[in-house]
Structure 1
Amino acid sequence: MHDVDSTAVTDVVTDGPYAPWPVVDDPGTWSLERSTVTTGSGDVVVHHRVGPDPVLLVHGVAGSWTTWTPLLAETGGVGERGLVLVDLPGWGTSPAPVGAFDVERGAGILVEVLDALGLSAVDVVGHSMGAFVALHLAVAAPVRVRSLGLVSGTTTATVRAARHPWRALGTLPAFTLLRAGLLVTSGAARGLLRGIACVGLLPLVAAPVFTHVRRLDRSVLDAFVDEFRPERFTAAARAAASYDVERWRAVTCPVTAVLGRDDVFARVSDLDDLRRLLPDVRTAVLGDCGHFAHVEHPAVVAGLLGLDGRR
């Protein structure tokens, strides 16, 4: 490992409007077609559009394809480019996976989706857990990934927290406490979250995730409740605990990693770790931003990832 230059992290001022777009579930807005792809882990729902230089968008543990709609709204549907938005097994409208779901299986599913759509290579953007899966896709199938965009990626700090949860109380307390709470409440967790939403307390629960929760469009909070899958969260944590991040040294494509200064599920130190593993990675920290950078500041994220038409 080489020493990390802390000045390599670019601090980005986010002086534009906060979370300016709602989350919507109308694929017709961006001329997206809905398909079901049969994979080794079961059926997967995909929203896609034919076009040049296709972009594959991979959601996180509290998301689905709709998580990306604020970014699509900001970028005019990412111009004329092709789009692929996957609901991973057990999220969105995709049924629960057949067998265990882990990082390896997640990357394999993405390859099967690309094969079904006849796409040889794509630019991949992943949020949270989706960034983790996207990184492994670049390891397991490098010829399929032209570039990587990691948005609020849960990477090295999450791996350490998953392996040593109580030790991580001081470094990643939100992740550790959420995981512990879900293990205790088990299958009742989603019902509890819906109950909290019904009595108007959801902003208090979501406040650690978004920097300005009371400035969010109601659709963002509704999607947060609808898309959160407690059992999938705990499965993802188990998978992270056993993952060897040294494998990321094999990534050869260009990588850009963006996270919020206020992110409770990722740390700025994650970007230092990524630069140790990926010396050429571009990193940026967004001020006034939590764990959903593409929702909270979609224009800034689009610019950093080259999705604003200037690429």
Structure 2
Amino acid sequence: MQDTDTRPRAQAVAPDPYAPFPVVDDPAGWGLSRTVVRTSSGPVVVHHRSGRDPLLLLHGVAGSWTTWTPLLQASGGAGDRGLVLVDLPGWGSSPAPEEPLDPDASVRVLTEVLDALSVPDADVVGHSMGAFVGMHLAVVAPDRVRSVSLVSGTTVATADAARHPIRGLSTLPAFTLLRAGLTVTGAAARPMLRVLDRIGLLPLLAAPVFTHVRELDRSVLDAFVEELRPTGFTAAARAAATYDLGRWRTVTCPVTAIAGRDDVFARTSDLDALRALLPQARTVLLDDCGHFAHVERPAAVARTLGLA
């Protein structure tokens, strides 16, 4: 694990096994209760428990609350901390809203969830799209956010590729081509993924996303197929294209950004770009890791976030 921060800091070397834990759908194993919160964007499924210093965990595209279970396993269930794991509208078990959510609507949902659970503030940890939403929450509701941690966050390069898809073919080809493919295939994409799975070609499709796709537990690929929602993906890309990242300069809480060196949905240069926006941000680069750092290198992520 290499820290990109040039200020003196102890270097951490993590000889951890790759993707050692499955993705599991077992809320009871973490002491989590399932609650359906009625929000302005429809019902939202939340798995949560009370405890000190709550963590708000926000999944990304092709994710749900279960995507965080490898990190929970690596962190001993995050000790005695409170947990709030949200299935954002249209993802996981939460039904899709009438209109795709933009960042403002997503943040409104999150504040309604926190209010319903009587959680005044939280340390926010977001993956991919969830990192983007977490940063916007820190912009518009800073009193609800103690810190933000971006895990394989889609930030500067992704927003640029979403705004300029022709340029994105050279800067972020995997993201740009996937967006185009899902736009064309629409609802047919998920049945097509299941067919590819049945004939054994799913690892080939997922290979760009994970550094060592053949070493993944079967549950990781199953979750990837189940949670890849074309409408949600394309809506998130449109939102990123119109978002003013300069708004992040107003964030004053601690920010940590963790990226995988092999991430095809982001660029390692994003860490430098983020620090240009937020000079106080801590940035950490993980070797031998793709776009799902909390699944591929959960122990390193847990240590970086102080959860292990």
* Same fold flag (TM > 0.5): yes
Match of 2:161 in 1: 161
Q: Displacement, 1:186?
A: 1.6
Q: Displacement, 1:281?
A: 0.2
Match of 2:284 in 1: 284
Query: In 1, are the aligned partners of 2:182 and 2:234 still within 8 Å (CA)?
Result: yes
Partner of 2:168, secondary structure, is: helix
Taking structure 1 as the reference length, what is the TM-score of the superposition?
0.95
Distance 2:31 2:5 in 1: 43
Match of 1:177 in 2: 177
Q: Percent identity?
A: 69
Q: Displacement, 1:99?
A: 2.5
1:120-199 aligned within 5 A: 120-199=120-199
Q: Does 1:63 align with 2:63?
A: yes
Partner of 2:20, secondary structure, is: coil
Query: In 2, are the aligned partners of 1:13 and 1:287 still within 8 Å (CA)?
Result: no
Gap regions ≥5 residues in structure 1: none
Letter in 2 for 1:72: L
Distance 1:232 1:299 in 2: 29
Distance 2:300 2:196 in 1: 32
Distance 1:7 1:60 in 2: 29
Partner of 1:223, secondary structure, is: helix
Post-superposition Cα deviations, 1:155-208, rounded to whole Å, max 9, x if no partner, equal 011110000001111110000010111111122111111111111111111100
Distance 2:288 2:282 in 1: 20
Distance 1:17 1:254 in 2: 29
Q: Displacement, 1:81?
A: 0.5
Match of 1:40 in 2: 40
Match of 2:204 in 1: 204
Letter in 2 for 1:21: F
Match of 1:22 in 2: 22
Moved beyond 3 Å, runs of 4+ = 5-14
Q: Between Structure 1 and Structure 2, how many residues are aligned?
A: 304
Distance 2:92 2:295 in 1: 17
Letter in 2 for 1:168: G
Distance 2:262 2:14 in 1: 13
Note closer, same or farther for the CA distance 1:291–1:78 as it changes in structure 2 (3 Å cut). Answer: same
Match of 1:97 in 2: 97
Letter in 2 for 1:183: T
Match of 2:54 in 1: 54
Q: Does 1:80 align with 2:80?
A: yes
Distance 2:19 2:116 in 1: 34
Letter in 2 for 1:224: F
Q: Displacement, 1:98?
A: 3.1
Gap regions ≥5 residues in structure 2: none
Distance 2:186 2:57 in 1: 29
Partner of 2:79, secondary structure, is: coil
Distance 1:244 1:207 in 2: 31
Q: Displacement, 1:6?
A: 7.5
Q: Displacement, 1:54?
A: 0.5
Taking structure 2 as the reference length, what is the TM-score of the superposition?
0.96
